[in-house]
Amino acid sequence: MERLCFSFARTMPLAYISHLDMMRLFLRALRRSNLPLAYSQGYNPHPRLTLALPLPVGVTASEELGEIFFAEAVSPEDFISILGSQLPASLELTGAGRLSPESTSLAARVCAALYRVFVSDEPDRGTQYLLLRGALDKLMSREEILMERKSKKKKITFINVRPYILKAEIIYKEGRPLELSLLLKAGSSGGVSPFFIIEQLKMEAGSGLMDASSWHVHREKLYTGQNGSLQPLPERM
């Protein structure tokens, strides 16, 4: 049994497909590549592939993570070249490495993600910057940012996502697009989507002031580790 982790970048136009579509895409590419897939046990065996932290539709990414099991040894180099030749141009394998079959899944250890939000310059950069600055200051000074959540029984509860915003910065420099950088808690122990934060910023700015429909969201990196001591991933590639 061989276990590999790998990182990949997703660019336009593939950003427009869903997580399920991504899984299907990888599985079909793997089957075309004839790599020796390992299958799960049970009545309906399926290949053992995990993609950490589903990417939302429309979001591009630099360094996403996946994990896969093979029935026979496959070197990380072969994996990249063989699978890479079966992937569309806007999906690129950027690294791969061996994982011991016993270690905790990387996907399960992801606890934060860094997003870059490219803010439109309309009507002009200065105005956009000031609007965004004001909205962000107001948002960050709040003690509670409540997000609605539906339980499986359709019961509605609210959680405070303010602690999930680990860092928020505006990058406003000559010669660079106006950018909002967000480090957000993510993963199975709780997290918040960048789109929810953008929605909140719009509300803080006053409805109609900021048009976020043309903003582009990019996921730069995923992190593991405890609060305060984030480890960038992938660790061993």
Partner 1 sequence: MSVDLMKLKEILAMVQKPARYLGNEWNACLKDHREAGMRMVFAFPDLYEVGMSNQGLKILYESVNSRPGMLMERVFAPAADMEDLMREKGLPLFALESREPLSRFDVIGFSLQYELSYTNVLNMLDLAGIPLYHHKRSETDPLIIGGGPCSFNPEPLAPFFDLFVIGESEEFLPVLLDTMTELRMENPGKKELLARLSGLDGVYVPSLYEPVYDQGLLAGMEKLDPRAPGTIRKHYVSDLDCAPYPTAPVVPYIQTVHDRAVVELFRGCGRGCRFCQAGYIFRPVRRRSSENIVSTARELIAGTGYDEISLSSLSSTDYPGLDALICELDNSLSDGRVKCSLPSLRLDSYSVSLADRVHRGRRSSLTFAPEAATERLRKVIKKNISEKDIFTAVADAVEAGWQGFKFYFMVGLPTETVEDVEAIVSLCRRLRQHFKQQAGRALKISVSVSTFVPKAHTPFQWEPQLPLAEVIERQQLLRRGFGKIAGFDFSWHEAGASLLEAVFARGDRTLAPLLERAWQLGCRFDGWSEHFSFDLWQKAFRELEIEPGRYAYRRFNYDDYLPWDHLDCGVDKELLIREHREALAR
1 binds partner 1 (CB under 8 A): no
Tokens at residue 105, please?
């899944």
Tokens at residue 152, please?
């499986």
Question: Looking at 19, 81, 85, 88, which residue binds partner 1 (CB under 8 A)?
Answer: 88
214 binds partner 1 (CB under 8 A): yes
Question: Looking at 1, 12, 73, 146, which residue binds partner 1 (CB under 8 A)?
Answer: 12
30 binds partner 1 (CB under 8 A): yes
- Asked if 193 and 56 count as a contact pair (C-beta separation under 8 A), the reply is yes
For residue 229, give the amino acid letter. S
32 binds partner 1 (CB under 8 A): yes
Question: Looking at 43, 150, 154, 207, which residue binds partner 1 (CB under 8 A)?
Answer: 43
Residue with smaller CB distance to partner 1, 69 or 223: 69
Question: Looking at 19, 31, 133, 236, which residue binds partner 1 (CB under 8 A)?
Answer: 31
**Three-class secondary structure of residue 49 per DSSP:** strand
Question: Looking at 90, 94, 105, 231, which residue binds partner 1 (CB under 8 A)?
Answer: 90
Tell me the CB-side half-sphere exposure of residue 44, using CA atoms within 13 A. Answer: 0
Q: What is the DSSP string of 80-109?
A: HHHHHTTS-TTEEEEEEEE--TTSPPHHHH
74 binds partner 1 (CB under 8 A): no
49 binds partner 1 (CB under 8 A): no
C-alpha span between 200 and 194 (Å, rounded) = 10
50 binds partner 1 (CB under 8 A): no
27 binds partner 1 (CB under 8 A): yes
13 binds partner 1 (CB under 8 A): yes
User: In the chain, which ranges are E strands?
Assistant: 2-10, 49-51, 60-70, 91-98, 110-118, 146-150, 156-160, 165-171, 179-185, 216-224, 231-232
Residues that bind partner 1 (CB under 8 A): 12-14, 16-18, 20-21, 24-25, 27-32, 34, 39, 43-45, 57-58, 86, 88-90, 213-214
